[in-house]
Every structure is written in structure tokens, then in C-alpha cells.
Amino acid sequence: MKRLASWKVSDDFWARVEPLIPERQRDSEKTYKRKSGGGRKRQDPRKVFEGILYVLRTGCQWKAVPKSEYGSSSSIHQYFLEWQAMGVFEQLWRASLLEYDELEGIAWEWQSLDSTMIKAPLALESVGRNPGDRGKKGSKRSVLADEKGLPLSIVISGENTHDVKLLAATLVGVIIDRPSEDLTKQNLCLDAGYVGVTAQREIEERGYVPHVRTRGEEIEEQDKNPDFKARRWVVEVCHAWFNRFRKLLVRYEKMQRSYLGLLMLAASVIVLRKIKRQNKGNIIYG
């Protein structure tokens, strides 16, 4: 079977998205000149969703969406804003993780957390001056991942926010319910940026066993013990998966909610493509 382009929506993918798409309702307090059903025909929701995915994958401007294939670019952007406000992308991410947990099982035992810098030249919210980039505007993306690199929580902040200040929000923001620490021991791997009493207290209060190591310590441990398995780097893989969505590499969205909506959609794709189905194609690529 021929693999679909990364921005195409397979039937299996759409089957998971369609139930989450809300029906547009008329405002009961507003007077309309046309009767219900009149005027321009409503755009196909599947084509709209595919247009949003096209922007996310290619990194193009919203106005550059091919009109011949997806329709009006301004309408696609408007749908994106509406669906984001209604929580469609958050619901899709949550549903994807729940499905993965049922079929594959989320690896809760070893989790890792880290943040990365994002250039944000046009951002108006969750943005700060990057001291490492001549004071240019930037944002920071903090992610919690399971042992296999699946994103469990995402937090956006200004670039000049210290990693430790994002720690609590990232741990609290897990999109699905964590298992009880009495049933599953949950270890949290972090780098040296999270050293200190404050970070350790935040981690332990939320039922995690902290493992704060520098990269050099992990390499040294591997040299001493061939069976040692470095685990903190898994979150770096997760960040790399996000960066394969070109719209996320540089943040051009002014509002935090818009960029977060794109991140949630990307997280859904990352999770769904990891589900293995015997004798069936990949959910995302067909």
C-alpha cells in the first residue's frame, strides 16, 4: 500500500477526528437575513482538517494553503481557531493517549522532562527575551514524556523563564490520569537544570522518584556499567519529533492558544503513529 503524504488524512485517522468536530450552531440571540441552510455551502470538515495539517506539516503561512485543494485559507484558519477554542485538539490528544494506553500501554515507570527554546519573532503571549540570542524574542516548550518518548504534558512560557519554574505546571498538566504511585513506581529523569531543593520538593510531592543527572554522569555510568540504560535523553527524542512539524520550528503565532493548539495536534499525530496494528496499515500514513 502506498504511504500517504504526511499532511493527508487517512480514513482511520479521520474516524478518530470526526466525532470530535462540533456542529456549527446559529446564535439564538442574533438575527439572520438568510434562512438556515442558505448561503455558501459549508466547507467539508475533513478537507478543513487536512488543510490545518498541511500548515502544521509544511510550515507555510495560512494564506498559502492551496485553495484549489482545501478551499478558502481564511476559512481554514477560522475553523482552526474555533476548534482550538472548543478543545478539539486537546480532546484528540487525550483520546489518542487513551487508545495507545489500551492497546500498547503507556510506559509510566520511567518518565523524562525537559524544555527547549523556540524563536518567536511575532509572539505577543508567553514570550520573553532570549539572553542567549542577543535578547531576541523567544518561547520555551516544556514537555513530559513517557519511557518511549510519547508526550504526556506540554507547557509554553517565555524564553526567559527558568526551567524549574515550569516544572510544577508540566507535572500537573498531564493530559490523562496517572496511575497511582502505589501501583506503579514512577521515576522522573531530568538534567542538571533541575538541581536544587525546590525542584526536588516539587517532584517528590507529586509522587515521583527524582533522577537528576548531567549528560557526563550518564556517559560515565555507561562506561562503568555496560547494562546501564540512559533514560533522560528520551524527552530529547520527543522534542525532535515535534520539530519535524515545520510550523513548530519557529513560532509565528501571536497568541499562545494558537501555538498550543498546533502542538496538541502534533502530539496526537506522534501518539497515533506509534500504535501497532497487526495486518493493518499505520493509522496516520495508511
Query: Does any domain span residue 35?
Result: no
End-to-end Cα, the chain, rounded Å? 8
Q: Are 143 and 238 in contact (CB under 8 A)?
A: yes
Domain span at residue 207 reads: 107-256
Query: Does any domain span residue 226?
Result: yes
Query: Does any domain span residue 77?
Result: no
Query: Does any domain span residue 60?
Result: no
Query: Domain tally for the chain?
Result: 1
Q: What is the pLDDT along the chain (286 residues), one digit of tens a residue?
A: 577 888 899 999 999 999 999 887 656 667 656 665 555 667 889 999 999 999 999 999 999 999 999 999 999 999 999 999 999 999 999 999 999 999 999 999 999 999 999 999 999 999 998 887 788 999 999 999 999 999 999 999 999 999 999 999 999 999 999 998 777 899 999 998 898 899 999 999 999 999 987 666 766 777 777 777 767 889 999 999 999 999 999 999 999 999 999 999 999 999 999 998 766 778 887 6
Q: Residue 252 CA to chain centroid, in angstroms?
A: 16
The cell numbers describing 263, all together, are 502542538
CATH code assigned at 219? 3.30.420
Whole-prediction pTM: 0.90
Query: Does any domain span residue 237?
Result: yes
